[in-house]
């Protein structure tokens, strides 16, 4: 397509304005927080992000993290954390700034709107139709989850690579000088997309459609051109199948002949939400088993079948119809359920899975409007886009924080295991144990095969002082997930709280045989060893923790206690002082440091620490007596 320079400037201006509108629409998310669903484990509690060392970045490239190998995605988060926190990143109690990560999501979405607008203009040759299609992609409520949820950054970011690959491949199919350079660029974008999110694996279908229906090349030529793309795609498929937790359980629970019906049911769901985006939620609970029980599978296939027939009829007159269908299908094909994937344990469908698919819908709208000469279809499209934008504005505050997101999820889907478990965990962290218990119990009832439900219940009962209930739940967690370090350590902690240190140490040892570097088990073993007067063993476990986590306040405290009880009081002062420096309001560390200083004949130095410990625990008579004794020795009565 040859376009005058002023025409190119005009479409760039229109595309930029469309991207700016998308940016302004999602600008409120910069004030939103991290949410408990995945944001904590991926970012806020991820030591590889919090430490910010080059070795941590290398580790993110070297192995999957939480069952996902998405190193390009983590590299961006790593860089954003460095920008947001700078030199403070490796400090104790580092708190990441969510605004920076939300900004990355919003900017990525705006960039995608720009790239899509330019792509639609290139394919339709109609600037107004390109803007209309890009606006649909920008403002549709189904995009809210992908843009407002920090953990879903990989969806818009992988779409960025897909759109860049489409642009580069179109340059390749146009031929001319340097066309193979564009081919290499498209292949590189595909590989980067795969390393951002494996869902990009179906992108060659879109490029094949572009090559044949837009570039006009025969299918044998297309097959030869795209054959090298199969190698990285196959590698990512095999890696994902090997590393993704839970996929085997999904595959075993559903007979293979049901999978096409599951896929068609998912397509029907997305088509319904495309037209009527109401009751959007993070977890719809639309598992394959639930769909089978409800009987949906036997009639929901009619909707995608009807749409496919309509596209086939339209495709006879419009060459972009197959391209739009391929782009829409590519976005969701890997997660329709034809191949089992881990999230199917919770739901086969999710709003974020439709992010790139909406680019195909945008192309269909642009292709249709490009042929329209009458004003009323344009007015109708404008009205629908305005309604979608209004719905997005209305739905966006749901993602403000966990206090808004989780109750909304439960309002839409009361049977959500994720919703009940995460909301119960949120209430438990705030020590609202009575409020948290019914949610956690409901989660355990919904998914008794999930260790996390029993873990959280055991921890809740432990904090609540209901030790027998805590032990029952901890043993249930171990039954569900035998020989897992977390479950073994939890049971050790529960037993330790009941002063059954010998039994507790056995479970810690079992956990450490499975995971020798597991810091939580080392800390628990140190506590049990202290209770059994095995001070050298306690010292060993504390030093194991400090070798990998030098800012572990609890490890420094227990090391100081072990040295003190072993009679090495002068050596204990350093670890105890370090524990106080790391957490000045830790009453136990303050008290132990004060007592150690007092025993070393340094009463004047002991008084401030014992005074602070007494203020932090005013109902403890032992600490009050220690303070009185220190003040008498130091002559410091106030």
Q: What angle do CA 383, 352, 85 make, to 5 degrees?
A: 110
582-592: pLDDT as tens digits = 999 999 999 99
pLDDT digits (tens, 9 = 90+) for 192-224: 999 999 989 999 999 999 999 998 899 999 999
pLDDT band at 636 (very low <50, low <70, confident <90, very high): low
Record the tokens describing residue 321, joined without a space. 């119809």
What is the rounded CA–CA span in Å between residue 312 and residue 290?
32
Euclidean distance between CA atoms 354 and 372, whole angstroms: 27
**Three-class secondary structure of residue 10 per DSSP:** helix
Q: What are the helix (H) ranges across 63-126?
A: 71-85, 98-124
Summarize the confidence of residues 420-449 as an average pLDDT.
93
Per-residue tokens: 372: 């329209």
At 9, list the tokens: 């400037």
Contact 344, 284 (CB under 8 A): no
pLDDT of amino acid 54: 81
Average confidence (pLDDT) over 527-537: 94
User: Does residue 94 have a pLDDT over 80?
Assistant: no
CA 101, CA 235: separation in Å to the nearest integer?
30
> Which has more pLDDT, 51 or 601?
601
pLDDT tops 50 at residue 93 = no
Query: pLDDT at residue 638 above 60?
Result: no
Question: What three-state secondary structure class fits 65?
Answer: strand
Reading the block at residue 454, the tokens are 């029993």
Q: Decide: helix, strand or coil at residue 617.
A: coil
pLDDT at 90: 47
SS (H, E, C) 385-437: HHHHHHHHHHHHHHHCCHHHHHHHHHHHCCCCHHHHHHHHHHHHHCCCHHHHH
Residues 442, 409, 287: CA angle, nearest 5 degrees: 70
- pLDDT tens digits along 468-482: 999 999 999 999 988
- Residue 493 near residue 501, CB atoms below 8 Å: no
Confidence of residue 91 (pLDDT cuts 50, 70, 90): very low
CB contact set of 465 (below 8 Å; sequence gap of 6+): none
Percent of the chain with pLDDT over 70: 95
Tokens (6 digits) for 489: 């350590």
Closest CA to 631 of 594, 600, 596: 594
Cα distance between residue 364 and residue 133, in whole Å = 8
Please name the residue that has the structure tokens 């719809």: 284
Other Cβ atoms less than 10 A from the Cβ of 436: the count is: 23
Helix (H, G, I), strand (E, B) or coil at 68: strand
Give residue 249's pLDDT: 57
In the predicted structure, residue 77 carries a pLDDT above the cut 50: yes
What letter does residue 567 receive in the DSSP assignment? Answer: T
Average pLDDT, the chain: 89
Q: Which of 364-368, 627-631, 634-638 has the highest mean pLDDT?
A: 364-368
pLDDT tens digits for 220-253?
A: 999 999 999 999 999 988 887 777 665 555 555 6
Count of other CB atoms within 10 angstroms of residue 468 = 10
Of the listed ranges 50-59, 129-138, 439-448, 540-549, the least confidently predicted one is 50-59
What average pLDDT does the segment 621-625 reach?
86
Average pLDDT over residues 145-152: 96
In this prediction, residues 4-21 reach a mean pLDDT of 85
pLDDT (0 to 100) of residue 317: 80
pLDDT at 398: 96
Which whole number is the average pLDDT over 313-332? 89
Query: Does residue 92 carry a pLDDT above 50?
Result: no
**Under a CB-based contact definition with an 8 Å cutoff, are residues 196 and 72 in contact?**
yes
Q: Which range among 63-67, 352-356, 366-370 shows the weakest confidence by mean pLDDT? A: 63-67
């Amino acid at each position: 397509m040859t376009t005058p320079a002023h025409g190119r400037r005009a479409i760039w201006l229109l595309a930029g304005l469309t991207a700016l509108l998308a940016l302004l629409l999602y600008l409120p998310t910069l004030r939103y927080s991290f949410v408990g669903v995945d944001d904590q484990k991926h970012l806020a509690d991820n030591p590889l992000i919090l430490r910010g060392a080059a070795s941590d970045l290398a580790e993110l490239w070297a192995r999957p993290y939480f069952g996902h190998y998405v190193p390009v995605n983590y590299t961006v988060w790593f860089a954003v954390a460095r920008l947001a926190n700078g030199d403070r990143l490796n400090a104790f109690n580092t708190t990441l700034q969510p605004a920076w990560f939300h900004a990355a999501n919003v900017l990525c979405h705006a960039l995608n709107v720009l790239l899509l607008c330019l792509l639609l203009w290139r394919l339709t040759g109609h600037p107004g139709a390109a803007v209309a299609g890009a606006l649909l992609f920008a403002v549709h409520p189904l995009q809210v989850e992908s843009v407002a949820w920090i953990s879903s950054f990989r969806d818009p970011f992988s779409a960025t690579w897909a759109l860049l690959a489409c642009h580069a491949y179109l340059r390749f199919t146009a031929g001319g000088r340097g066309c193979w350079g564009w081919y290499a660029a498209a292949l590189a974008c595909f590989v980067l997309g795969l390393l951002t999110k494996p869902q990009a694996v179906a992108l060659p279908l879109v490029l094949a459609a572009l090559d044949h229906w837009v570039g006009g090349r025969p299918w044998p030529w297309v097959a030869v051109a795209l054959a090298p793309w199969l190698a990285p795609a196959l590698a990512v498929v095999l890696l994902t199948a090997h590393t993704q937790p839970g996929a085997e359980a999904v595959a075993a629970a559903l007979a293979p002949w049901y999978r096409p019906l599951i896929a068609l049911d998912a397509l029907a769901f997305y088509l319904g939400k495309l037209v009527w985006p109401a009751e959007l939620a993070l977890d719809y609970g639309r598992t394959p088993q639930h769909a089978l029980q409800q009987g949906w599978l036997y009639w929901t296939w009619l909707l995608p079948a009807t749409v496919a027939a309509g596209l086939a009829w339209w495709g006879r007159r419009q060459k972009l119809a197959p391209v739009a269908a391929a782009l829409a299908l590519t976005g969701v094909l890997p997660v329709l359920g034809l191949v089992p994937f881990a999230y199917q344990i919770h739901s086969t469908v999710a709003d974020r899975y439709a992010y790139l698919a909406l680019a195909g819908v945008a192309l269909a709208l642009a292709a249709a409007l490009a042929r329209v000469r009458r004003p009323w279809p344009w007015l109708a499209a404008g009205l629908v886009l305005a309604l979608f934008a209004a719905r997005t504005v209305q739905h966006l505050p749901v993602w403000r924080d966990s206090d808004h997101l989780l109750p909304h999820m439960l309002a839409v889907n009361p049977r959500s295991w994720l919703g009940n478990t995460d909301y119960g965990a949120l209430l438990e962290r705030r020590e609202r144990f009575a409020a948290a218990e019914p949610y956690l119990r409901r989660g355990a009832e919904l998914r008794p095969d999930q260790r996390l439900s029993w873990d959280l219940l055991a921890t809740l009962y432990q904090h609540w002082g209901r030790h027998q209930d805590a032990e029952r739940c901890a043993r249930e967690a171990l039954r569900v997930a035998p020989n897992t370090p977390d479950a073994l350590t939890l049971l050790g902690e529960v037993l330790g709280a009941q002063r059954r240190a010998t039994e507790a140490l056995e479970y810690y040892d079992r956990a450490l045989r499975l995971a020798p570097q597991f810091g939580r088990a080392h800390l628990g073993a140190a506590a049990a060893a202290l209770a059994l007067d095995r001070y050298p063993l306690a010292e060993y476990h504390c030093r194991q923790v400090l070798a990998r986590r030098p800012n572990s306040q609890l490890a420094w405290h227990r090391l100081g206690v072990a040295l003190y009880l072993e009679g090495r009081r002068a050596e204990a002062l350093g670890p105890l002082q370090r524990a106080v420096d790391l957490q000045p309001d830790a009453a136990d560390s303050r008290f132990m440091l004060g007592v150690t200083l007092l025993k070393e004949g340094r009463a004047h130095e002991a008084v401030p620490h014992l005074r602070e410990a007494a203020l932090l625990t005013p109902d403890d008579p032992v600490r009050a007596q220690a303070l009185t004794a220190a003040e008498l020795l130091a002559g410091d009565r106030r």
